[in-house]
Structure 1
């Protein structure tokens, strides 16, 4: 089960990053291009990014507790081991924070009336979330 979940989490991460990158780019170009926020296209792009990130964090949380690394908490020395610290502390904490910011951006955009403000909230929060996600990916494990 663990290896299947790890593979799913890894491949879903590619999709999530692509959709989130596309949503951030769409919001930034909409903001600076003074476009109208289309309830069809722009809303769906942002919503798909939100859904993909939530599915990814759910997969990650399940993976976290089923991972063989999780046993290192009872053995001790997690903070002294850089790989264990990345996988057990930095990666989950930063990614939960990133998904929370993306969710806040989604909620704040709904309260805005003007298109520029809608794009602005999504651009700001989704881009910060994307940067946080990219900063804590365990690339040495992921790209092998």
Structure 2
């Protein structure tokens, strides 16, 4: 379990970095009215989607086997959790599932459009919302403790 938690923590840096890059790429593409290219723009967005989904799967696995996840919730209930425990057991997983769902919607929507501006707009909005949600629920104080 400790290895899984370490991988989840380090992969979070990669996921945040590529998510930030994907949002920045989409915003610059939108503002510069660039063509959406398969070589760069599609690969950045797809790689971000894949990394975020891998991070989600690792997080869900960790939530089921960690004493800070499901077992803490079932053992103590919502009323018995302090704010730090509630963040790990409820808020972090719930908000991140919503964030990854938004990123997935952004990816799916961009495929329906033909023009670059709409593709970039879809990715910028949905990946951006996902990034904001993820940043809002990272357990900063407990990340490597």
Task: Give the TM bin, normalised by the shorter chain.
Answer: over 0.9
Q: Distance in 2 between matches of 1:33 and 1:92?
A: 36
Per the alignment, residue 75 of structure 1 pairs with: 75
Per the alignment, residue 100 of structure 1 pairs with: 101
Alpha-carbon distance, 1:143 to partner: 4.9
Per the alignment, residue 136 of structure 1 pairs with: 137
TM-score, with structure 1 as normaliser: 0.95
1:45-74 deviations in Å (ceiling 9; x for gaps):
000000000000000000001101232223
Q: Distance in 1 between matches of 2:2 and 2:62?
A: 9
Q: Distance in 1 between matches of 2:107 and 2:21?
A: 15
Unaligned runs of 5+ in 1: none
Unaligned runs of 5+ in 2: none
Per the alignment, residue 118 of structure 2 pairs with: 117
Count of residue correspondences: 143
Preserved contact between residue 24 and residue 126 of structure 1 (Cα < 8 Å): yes
* Residue correspondence of structure 1 range 1-144 to structure 2 within 5 A: 2-69=1-68, 70-79=70-79, 80-144=81-145
Q: Distance in 2 between matches of 1:39 and 1:72?
A: 45
Q: Distance in 2 between matches of 1:78 and 1:141?
A: 20
Q: Distance in 1 between matches of 2:6 and 2:50?
A: 19
